[in-house]
Amino acid sequence: MTYEIPKEIKAKPKILGLEMRELVILLISSLLVLTILRDLVHSVFMIPYFVAVIGFMIYLFIPSGHNPKKRHYESLILFFRHKKAVYHAMDKHKQENRQLRQ
């Protein structure tokens, strides 16, 4: 006999669409960036600085459109860790191939 386990049991707990781990990382990293770099920003630009940093931190945790099941910060990690010696062929006939698939 085999028993099928529902997928809901395996789901990770989320708050505001973020996993708990990602939410903690987001809060800690934004607090670090805000406090460390605050001295480099003129007092006139403090509010736009806070808005920009918080917006950028939120952007990093939004799912990436180009890499399925990855967030933007994971895409950046993949971008900086890729091997430059590996050859990836470019598709010269992108439009023709797309039309053939349809």
In a domain, 48, yes or no: yes
Mean pLDDT, residues 85-99 taken together: 74
In a domain, 3, yes or no: no
Nearest to 73 by CA among 20, 16, 15, 25: 25
Q: Residue 44 pLDDT > 90, yes or no? A: yes
In a domain, 5, yes or no: no
In a domain, 20, yes or no: yes
How many domains is the chain partitioned into structurally? Answer: 1
Q: Which residue range forms the structural domain that includes residue 83?
A: 10-101
Mean pLDDT, residues 68-80 taken together: 84
- Average pLDDT over all residues of the chain: 78
Nearest to 52 by CA among 39, 62, 64, 38: 38
In a domain, 40, yes or no: yes
In a domain, 93, yes or no: yes
Comparing 35 with 3, the larger pLDDT belongs to 35
